[in-house]
Structure 1
């Protein structure tokens, strides 16, 4: 990925469009390349890819760059995320694809060092700027379950519904129970974290960092109104998420170091009857190319997943779908 690293950024320039390939092998490892001593940002690790030339589609640029850099022929790349950042010598818009179907072997065609690594390895400070955004998009689920309030549902029945969602494949859960006192919420969180962990998933809490650490949750999810300049002290390896309702919220979430966000409401919901849905067109404009994965939220279910992914969403977040027809996968 031919993006340079510097301490100065020029965000007045229009961004360069860069096609990026996250090439995976059968073990789920990703192909990383190390920039050569003769290149700017020498020694930094990156995903292969490069500039989209005039008159060239992003997909064509990706195929060309991967052939030129690592000698592979690709088929059916899948869009992962598109975002803009200005952390290098010029602003760039990264069009990131996952590449699982390819012919090799992968070879270093430009005298660079290449290797397949665990995705988490690319979070190292030795990777090019904003690589962590790509890894977040790669590793986050495309369905995010926001639990409904009890609303008179017996505790055991509520847990049974949770188990049903987990059996359907849910891997990321936000424990949303605003009516509970902190002590009751923490007791419930401990139970939910244990159940979700057994299913191979993680739970986001919405109270404070200390509670996240006490119960071993996956991370913390706050409304945009609670953001401060610094990321909450939840430790390495945990996630920080933000509920956004505007482009400004998304920009603030990015600046605060959020790993992902939800953006709502796409459509009106019974849980927020006073908020009119903005629809997909406005959702796409608001989401724009902010540098973090963003879930679409508001009146959505499984049938909306393809539309969400086509709109540069990480996937869908849902509340009501949990209560009736849990989203799966």
Structure 2
């Protein structure tokens, strides 16, 4: 469902994350829609109220916390519940007060890896995906034709700088050579706690212990459902709204949309610009990275236009921007 759906209820949601990385969830009261399900606290916006004011009021009323500090996480719409809603979600890292159930509801702190065992409201999976994903998604440049030692040195430097999610992309390599390269990249990345997505097939992902799969828009269009297990990441490339819809239908956890700006590799492609990116992305229920001609300095613009963050090759590969 997109932002063009009628009668969508705007709801502000706060994801409180404590020093141990746990999140606060609250149980819906018996007299409310979705009774018994667990959710992140929040509530609907009242007439004339800004969304931040709504978030502050709802969290003060529901769990007794004030002076919220955090940043926007994701905005998306869905109709999986009793009526269509648009969720405006913030990740909160600091607040004043001890959270508690001020309206008679149960609340609890839960480790993120324990949430699979809890009955959560529909579409909470979208919030959890956005919460788990970093702001930067590195797409590796081709090793083919490059200096191998310099390529691996740049990869190691990217991991030391904090890269935690990357896609290994080199379409010129045979399956055998790609698998050999992937094994080396996965070993390096996992030592730093980073995730590696491959762009070949599920069998290779499983055989090598990779963290997921990233497919092109063409492969997504031909997909007959999600190709990897739910515990692995599945990402999709997209260039417009219809390809994003295809990614959602295929069960993707997140997507990239490009090109936002002019790129050195696809100069003939008409860039979307930030308004164009947001227009294509709309309020679709999945995290979306902005891709194409971007660098770390563009992260603020990306977040302001409802992106998960930025994806890039040159913009995130050490030394590439100055090459």
TM over 0.5: yes
Q: What is the CA-CA distance between 1:123 and the residue it aligns to?
A: 4.2
Matched, 1:226 2:215: no
Report matched runs for 1:301-312 at 5 Å: 301-312=295-306
- Mapped contact 1:261–1:294 kept (Cα < 8 A): yes
| Distance in 1 separating the partners of 2:239 and 2:270 | 12
1:190 partner SS: helix
From 126, 133, 136, give the equivalent of 1:140.
Answer: 133
Q: How many residues align?
A: 316
**Taking structure 1 as reference, are residues 199 and 70 closer, same or farther at Cα in structure 2, changes over 3 Å only?**
same
Coordinate RMSD, CA, aligned: 1.6
Residue by residue over 1:2-28, the C-alpha shift from the partner in whole angstroms, topping out at 9 and shown as x without a partner, is xxxxxxxxx963210000000122211
Partner of 1:28: 21
**Taking structure 1 as reference, are residues 125 and 28 closer, same or farther at Cα in structure 2, changes over 3 Å only?**
closer
| Distance in 1 separating the partners of 2:145 and 2:50 | 53
Partner of 1:65: 58
Partner of 1:265: 259
| Distance in 2 separating the partners of 1:117 and 1:319 | 35
Partner of 2:292: 298
Q: What is the CA-CA distance between 1:264 and the residue it aligns to?
A: 0.2
- Mapped contact 1:13–1:90 kept (Cα < 8 A): no
Q: For structure 2, list consecutive stretches of 5 or more residues without a partner in the other structure.
A: none
2:115 partner SS: helix
Partner of 1:252: 246
TM-score, normalised relative to structure 1 = 0.92
1:316 partner SS: strand
- Mapped contact 1:122–1:132 kept (Cα < 8 A): no
Residue by residue over 1:56-101, the C-alpha shift from the partner in whole angstroms, topping out at 9 and shown as x without a partner, is 0000000111111111113233100000111011111000001112
| Distance in 1 separating the partners of 2:6 and 2:255 | 27
| Distance in 1 separating the partners of 2:200 and 2:143 | 18
Greater shift, 287-296 or 12-21, is seen at 12-21
Report matched runs for 1:1-329 at 5 Å: 13-124=6-117, 126-227=119-220, 228-232=223-227, 234-325=228-319
| Distance in 2 separating the partners of 1:48 and 1:251 | 28
| Distance in 1 separating the partners of 2:114 and 2:319 | 37
Greater shift, 20-29 or 121-130, is seen at 121-130
- Mapped contact 2:22–2:112 kept (Cα < 8 A): yes
TM-score, normalised relative to structure 2 = 0.94
| Distance in 1 separating the partners of 2:320 and 2:60 | 42
2:315 partner SS: helix
| Distance in 2 separating the partners of 1:149 and 1:273 | 18
Q: For structure 1, list consecutive stretches of 5 or more residues without a partner in the other structure.
A: 1-10
**Taking structure 1 as reference, are residues 305 and 326 closer, same or farther at Cα in structure 2, changes over 3 Å only?**
farther
| Distance in 2 separating the partners of 1:280 and 1:235 | 33
Q: What is the CA-CA distance between 1:150 and the residue it aligns to?
A: 2.4
| Distance in 1 separating the partners of 2:71 and 2:116 | 22
